[in-house]
Amino acid sequence: MQQSLVAPQAGPYANAHDLARGADYARRDADWRFGPIVYQVLVDRFAPSADLETKRDLYASPRRLREWDERPTRGEYLEEARVWSHEVDFWGGDLDSLRARLDHIDAMGADVVYLNPIPDALTNHKYDATDYRIVAPEYGDRDDLRALIDDVHARDMKLMLDGVFNHTGRRSPRFAEASTDEASEYREWYTFDERQPNGYKAWYDVANLPELNLENHEVRGYLWEDEDSVMKSFLADGADGWRLDVAYDIGFEYLRQLTQEAHEFKPGSAVIGEIWSYPEDWAHSVDGLMNFHLRAIVLTLARGEIPGAHAGDMIETMVEDAGVEPILRSWLMLDNHDTQRLATMLPDTDRRRIAQVLQFTLPGAPVVYYGSELGMTGGDDPEMRGPMRWDLIEEEDPDALAELEWTRSLIDMRRSSRALRIGDYRALETQSCLAFMRRTDRYSETVIVICNASDEPVREVIAVRDSKQMGSNPLIDQLTGDEHRAFSGLLDLEVPARSVLVLKPRPIEAHRYTPHKRMQ
């Protein structure tokens, strides 16, 4: 017989502090940008196209079309094309083949599908756009993109695009004209200077990536200010926001302007900046950022290279400096198209599990890089961009299926916890472990996380900084089912080596005595 449970109380049972902050949690709860699960896709590498034979001519030299079971390897520099050969290796995925595999992403529990760049470009990574407004023909066209967006929305998910607004490709017609005609109307769109290694400013001096002159108002108008700008036209097509490549190169003020333009054109849209430095100042220019700083802390801790308490101090300072809401809207990825894959970085399963549990319990939006839910491996560029291993699912590879089940369990835990999605962050004092609390205005939603990344078990006595948590009701580890109790506001427990505890109050049985009867 199913037990009836006491629902969290509201209204007159809330204390003054709860009443003061309850509206903030309700606002966050209604805003998809706070703490969603993000699934990242490289269109070319996600699913093989059903129409590959009809579009083989789109992969003419210097491009090469590979077989789906091939793995990317580093190639040679192609002097004439000014790119590396592995940059023009393709596997043939497109928007339609992605649409056909949305069931997998939906079943994962994702809230957001994030696509790496899709504009017309020479390379497979598409960070060298020739025309921002045209979808790469090998991927499809704008109608195909709109159809994908409709399908994503029908599944109650959002779709984010990748905006590469710092530079174009060398094959852009605007750059080609500007570089050969000093009277061209596009001459001031770029910065030509013979002192530069290529004769013009380029991103990291890469010849194929000439930088745009964002100080030119026509460039800004074309990219984001005009009503028919690149940014706004794709938002009008149904896209829900933009992840901005090398946002640090765009700068604080232009990011602020772009974000404001996006919000005014499409209220509720998201702008996420790629930032590889400390989040504090950037948090005021975008909705959120790719939180590489927090990622670095998590991975360093998971490797056992720093004490947990020190990691906790750094995380607490970051949240205080940047503000909890910008951090909640920021993306926390462990791997992506620019890094080694997680299973390669952390081949030890216990240490990989530590990083993943922290990714899904710390504030922010966890990002799952396609294939990492199957334990796909991959080293430095281009190895981490291998084609999706659907064969591991189809052939029921036990290791891949175990990894998939584990990832789904973390997503389920995250989605079922309001505190993990939108709750505040509160550090807990320890001697050696990382410990923190995620909480809202409801006692039953509090989550306490304790991480011991060392090779030895550790005893910790931790003050539980939540007045509503009482020893009469145990805290249940969401990963193991083990019970722990906090007496007089103290948790006294032994934390096993290389482990994370995720503790949450046991639901109250309606027919039992509870001191929580007049608490929210």
Whether 245 is catalytic: yes
> Which spans in 8-87 are helix H?
16-29, 43-46
Query: Of 87, 89, 240, 245, which residue is the catalytic one?
Result: 245
CA distance 56 to 359: 40
Nearest partner of 460 among 421, 429, 417, 506, judged by Cα: 429
CA distance 87 to 105: 26
Q: Which helix (H) or strand (E) holds 149?
A: helix 142-154
Query: Of 18, 87, 274, 445, which residue is the catalytic one?
Result: 274
Using an 8 Å Cβ cutoff, are 302 and 317 in contact? no
Size of the chain in residues? 520
Query: Where in 287-445 does DSSP place strands (E)?
Result: 288-291, 331-333, 365-369, 424-427, 434-439
Nearest partner of 244 among 252, 253, 233, 255, judged by Cα: 255
Radius of gyration of the chain (CA): 25
Identity of residue 13: Y
Phi, psi torsion values for 270, nearest 5 degrees: -120, 145
Identity of residue 446: T
Query: Where in 189-299 does DSSP place strands (E)?
Result: 241-244, 270-275, 288-291
* Distance (Å) of CA 252 to CA 218, 249, 480: 19, 9, 44
Q: Are strands 490-495 and 486-487 parallel, antiparallel or unpaired?
A: antiparallel
What tokens does 485 get? 């109790």
Place of tokens 């704008």: 142
Mark residue 109 as left, alpha or beta (left: phi above 0; alpha: psi -120 to 50; beta: remaining): left
What tokens does 518 get? 């007049």
Phi, psi torsion values for 19, nearest 5 degrees: -60, -35
CA distance 86 to 77: 9
> How many other CB atoms are found less than 10 A from the CB of residue 267?
7
Residue 430: burial class (beta carbons within 10 Å; 0-12, 13-18, 19+)? buried
Helix, coil or strand: residue 13: helix
CA neighbours closer than 13 Å in the CB half-sphere of residue 392: 17
CA distance 460 to 462: 6
Nearest partner of 337 among 129, 73, 45, 33, judged by Cα: 45
Q: Name the residues annotated as catalytic.
A: 245, 274
